Structure formats: C-alpha cells, structure tokens
Structure 1
Amino acid sequence: MQKLSNDIVVILGASVFLLLITLFIIVLLMAYKKRDYKHLKEKRLLEEDFNSQLLHSQIEVQEQTFSQIGKELHDNVGQLLSTSRMLIGLAERKLKTPPDALLTANATIGEAINELRSLSKSLDKDWLSQFNLIDNLKTEVIRMNAGSSIKVSLEIQSEPDMPSSRQIILFRIIQEAIQNALKHSSCDHIAIHLNKNNRHIEIIVADDGSGFKTGIFNKGMGLKNMQYRTKLLGGSIRYQSTEKGTSIIILIPENSQQNED
C-alpha cells in the first residue's frame, strides 16, 4: 500500500513537472512570437519610413529640376522665340504683300510662345506646391479634345484629399495611361472616371479600342512607369482588355503613412 502511494506521488510529481515544462515552453514560444511580431512591425515601419523619405526626396529633386527647366525655358528659349517673332514682324512691315508662309510662321511662333509660357509656369515650384489634380485633368481633357479627333471625357464623382506632391504623381500616371490609349488602342473615345472606393481613390481610364493580348501589353506598351509611380503612392494598378476596349484601373490610398506634409 505504501508502495502504491509512493508511485502515485511520483506520477503526480512527474505530471506536474511535465506540465510546468510544457507551460514554460508555451511561455517561451509566446514571448518569441511577440518579439518576432514586434521585430516585423518595426521592420515594416522602417520600410515605410524609408519609402516615405525616398518619395519625399524624389519629389524635392523633381521640383528643383522642373523649376530650373522652367526658368531656362522662359529666360532663354522664350527670349529666342520672341526675338524671332519680332524679326518676322519687321520683315512683314517692309513688304507690301507679305507671303502667306511668313504670316503663318509669325502666327505659329506666337502659339509656340504661349505654349512655352504655359509649360514654364507648370514647372514652377510655387505652381507645383499648389497643384490640383482635378483642375489639371480638366485642362488636359480640353487640350486633347481641341487637338485630336479622339474624344476624351472626364467624370468626377469625388475629389481626392491628398497632398499636391502625391496629386502630381497621380496626374502623371493618368497622363501615361491616356497616352498609351492614344498610341496603341486605335480608339475613338477615352473615358476617365475618378471616384472614392473604401478610402481609396479609384481612377479608371477606359477606351473603346480593339484591345490586345497580355503579352503585347507588357512588352509593347509596358506598365513599368505607371507601376513604379503607383508603387510610390502605395497603390495598385491593373488592366482589363477585351475586343471592345481596354480599362486601366488605378487604386491609390487617399490617406496613408507615406503621405508627405
């Protein structure tokens, strides 16, 4: 009987010991998991901070470059065009009946000067800091409809709430999507839709062209520039193509940790 009692005590002792060992292992695993999760979280935050700083630096470099280019265009190229137009004007006044080619050249240079002024203004740093996606999309649509046989429409259901630096990059993505449609789709109409979808800005650039195969799109047209810019904004881009046309769908988080102040 005494032996049985001793065996029970041993068994109970061993069971308690194993239980304690098991609990100790579980606690260690939980601590490891917690530390691992904390490490991954810190790594993700560091990556996000790095991406944010990278984007901020790229924007600063672009702004400085654009500002310098705008100044050069206005001060140098603009001055040369103005001088050329003045000389053509002097030649016109010396001729009783100026040839049509001379009159056309004068008018063309005048248009070039106006375009150059608009371009240099758009590259100005102050203009960039006040950039508005919607206003520039409307201007772009008017410009394309005036100079192209392809009709471009714009539908805005809600306006984005994001810094101007992010709006500029988004505008470049949309511009590239439009240019791809103009160059490759043989379409008659391009529709641009802008809406908010689950805290994301959703942009769809759709055309009524003939569509294309996946390989042709990736090799011939390419998504690299649009994909790179979309990644900078923490978004995603995809496309759908059928024989009735192609749609490029862009999703950009309206507010994210990558936003600059």
Structure 2
Amino acid sequence: MQKLSNDIIVILSSSAFLFLITLFIVFLLMAYKRRDYKHLQEKQLLEEHFNNQLLRSQIEVQEQTFMQIGKELHDNVGQLLSTSRMLIGLAERSMTSPPDALFTANATLGKAISELRSLSKSLDKEWLSQFNLIENLKNEITRINATATIHASLQVTHQPALPSSKQIILFRIIQEAIQNAIKHSGCDKLIISLSKQDGHLVITVYDNGKGFQAEVCEKGLGLKNMESRTQLLGGKINFISEPGNTTITIHIPENKNHYEN
C-alpha cells in the first residue's frame, strides 16, 4: 500500500513537472512571438517612415525643378515667342494684302504665349503656396469639356480643409485618375465629387468607360503612384472597376494631426 502511494506521488510529481516544463515552453514561445511581432511592427513603421520621407524629398525636388522650368519658360521661351509674334505683326503691316496663313500663325502664337504664361504661373512657388484645389479642378473640367468629346462635371459639397501643399498632392492624384479615364477608358462621361464623411475628405472620380482590372494592370496606369501619394497624405484609395463603371474613391483625413507640417 505504501509502495502504491509512493508510485502515485511519483506520477503526480512527474506530471506536475512535465506540466510546468510545457507551460514554461509555451510562455517562451509566446514571448518570442510577441517580440517577433513587435520587431515586425517596428520594421514596418521604419519602412513607412522611410517611404514617406522619400516621397517628401521627391516632391521637394520636383517643386524645385518645376520652379526652374517655369522661370526658363517665362524668361526665355516666352520672350522668343513674343518676339516672333511681334515680327509677324510687322510683316502683316508691311503687306497690302497679308495671306490668311500669316493671320492664323499670329493668332496661334498668341494662344501659345497665353498657354505658356499659364503653365509658367502654375510652376511658380508663390502660386503653389496659394494653390486652391477646387479652382484648379474647375479649370480641369473646363479644359476637358472644351474637347466636346467628354462631358465632365464637378460636384462639391465640402471645401477641403487642407494646406496648399497637401492640396497640390491631392490634385495630382485626381489629375492622374482623370488622365487615365481620358486616355484608356473610352468614356464620354466623367464626374468628380468632393464631400465629407467621418472627419475625412472624400473624393470620387467616376467614368462610364470600359473599366480595368487593377490586379491585371499590375499597378500600371499610375495606380501605384496614386496609392503612394495617398499614403503620404495619410489616406486610403480604393479602385472599383467593371465595364461601363469605374469609381476611384479617395479618403483623406482632415484631422489637424494628420496634415500639420
């Protein structure tokens, strides 16, 4: 009887010991998993921070390049075109009956100079600092409708509460979506809308074109660039497309913490 009791004690002790060893191993595995997960999170945060800084640097470089191009366009190319138009004007006045081609050339040069001034202005840093998303979207709509091939409209129920630097980035995202629709979708209807939802600025770009499959495009059509710029603004972008219906939806937080520089 004593021996049986001793055997039971040994079995119970062994079982308890094995249980404690198993419990210890489980705790070790859990601690390792937590540390591994924490390390993965830190790595992801570092990668995200690096990508954001890289994008910011690229945008800064682009802005400097645009400023230089704008200056060159205004000071050099603009002056050359103005001189050419003046010479054409002198030629017109020196002729008793100038050919129609000369009048057409003069008018075309005048339009080119006007377009060049607008482009030069859009690349100026002071103009960029006063950038207004809605006004520039209205200009885009006017430009698209002037082609008479696509009917474009802008629906605004909320004015963006974002600094100009963020509005410029957002405009480039929308502009990319517009260009994709014009170049690739074969649409004849384009609708851009801005609204507010749960503290977010919500932008949708809709077209009635042939659609696309994002996974098939392998992030082509500028989709990857649109996603990167949206992430830089702390937002999200969603693509829903099928034949006859493509909607790109962008959510940008307007919370002060997200957009203060």
**TM, length-normalised to structure 2:** 0.82
Q: What is the RMSD computed on CA atoms of the aligned residues? A: 3.0
The separation in 1 between residues aligned to 2:251 and 2:84, in whole angstroms, is 46
- Identify the residue that residue 41 of structure 2 maps to in structure 1: 41
Please point out which of 210, 220, 238 is paired with 1:223: 220
- Identify the residue that residue 116 of structure 1 maps to in structure 2: 116
| Structure 1: 5+ residue stretches without partners | none
- Residue range with higher mean Cα deviation, 179-188 or 42-51: 179-188
The separation in 1 between residues aligned to 2:240 and 2:220, in whole angstroms, is 10
What is the Cα deviation at residue 68 of structure 1? Answer: 1.2
Q: Percent identity?
A: 61
Q: Pairwise mapping of residues 181-220 of structure 1 onto structure 2 (< 5 A)?
A: 181-197=181-197, 201-209=201-209, 211=210, 214=213, 218=217
Q: 1:225 to 1:166 in 2, by over 3 A?
A: farther
What is the Cα deviation at residue 37 of structure 1? Answer: 1.7
Relative contact order (alpha carbons < 8 A, sep ≥ 6): 1 or 2 greater?
1
Give yes or no for contact 1:161–1:254 (8 Å, CA) kept in 2: no
Give yes or no for contact 1:233–1:258 (8 Å, CA) kept in 2: no
Give yes or no for contact 2:70–2:119 (8 Å, CA) kept in 1: yes
Give yes or no for contact 1:48–1:258 (8 Å, CA) kept in 2: no
CA offset digits 1:1-59 (Å, max 9, x no partner)? 33233233323322332232123122212211221121011111101111111111110
What is the Cα deviation at residue 260 of structure 1? Answer: 7.5
Whether 2:244 is the aligned partner of 1:240: answer no
SS at match of 2:204: strand
| Structure 2: 5+ residue stretches without partners | none
The separation in 2 between residues aligned to 1:232 and 1:150, in whole angstroms, is 27
Q: 1:240 to 1:111 in 2, by over 3 A?
A: same
Q: How many residues align?
A: 255
Q: Pairwise mapping of residues 82-231 of structure 1 onto structure 2 (< 5 A)?
A: 82-197=82-197, 201-209=201-209, 211=210, 214=213, 218=217, 223-231=220-228
- Identify the residue that residue 26 of structure 1 maps to in structure 2: 26
The separation in 1 between residues aligned to 2:131 and 2:220, in whole angstroms, is 25
The separation in 2 between residues aligned to 1:50 and 1:98, in whole angstroms, is 62
Q: 1:201 to 1:13 in 2, by over 3 A?
A: same
Give yes or no for contact 1:199–1:255 (8 Å, CA) kept in 2: yes
The separation in 1 between residues aligned to 2:60 and 2:212, in whole angstroms, is 38
Amino acid at match of 2:14: A
Amino acid at match of 1:25: I
Amino acid at match of 2:30: M
SS at match of 2:146: helix
- Residue range with higher mean Cα deviation, 194-203 or 250-259: 250-259
Q: 1:159 to 1:230 in 2, by over 3 A?
A: farther
- Residue range with higher mean Cα deviation, 94-103 or 109-118: 94-103
Q: 1:173 to 1:105 in 2, by over 3 A?
A: same
Whether 2:61 is the aligned partner of 1:64: answer no
Amino acid at match of 1:224: L
The separation in 2 between residues aligned to 1:32 and 1:202, in whole angstroms, is 41
Q: 1:39 to 1:163 in 2, by over 3 A?
A: farther
Amino acid at match of 1:246: N
**TM, length-normalised to structure 1:** 0.82
The separation in 1 between residues aligned to 2:217 and 2:8, in whole angstroms, is 74
Whether 2:16 is the aligned partner of 1:13: answer no
Amino acid at match of 2:241: Q
Amino acid at match of 1:241: E
What is the Cα deviation at residue 114 of structure 1? Answer: 1.4
- Residue range with higher mean Cα deviation, 149-158 or 199-208: 199-208
- Identify the residue that residue 74 of structure 2 maps to in structure 1: 74
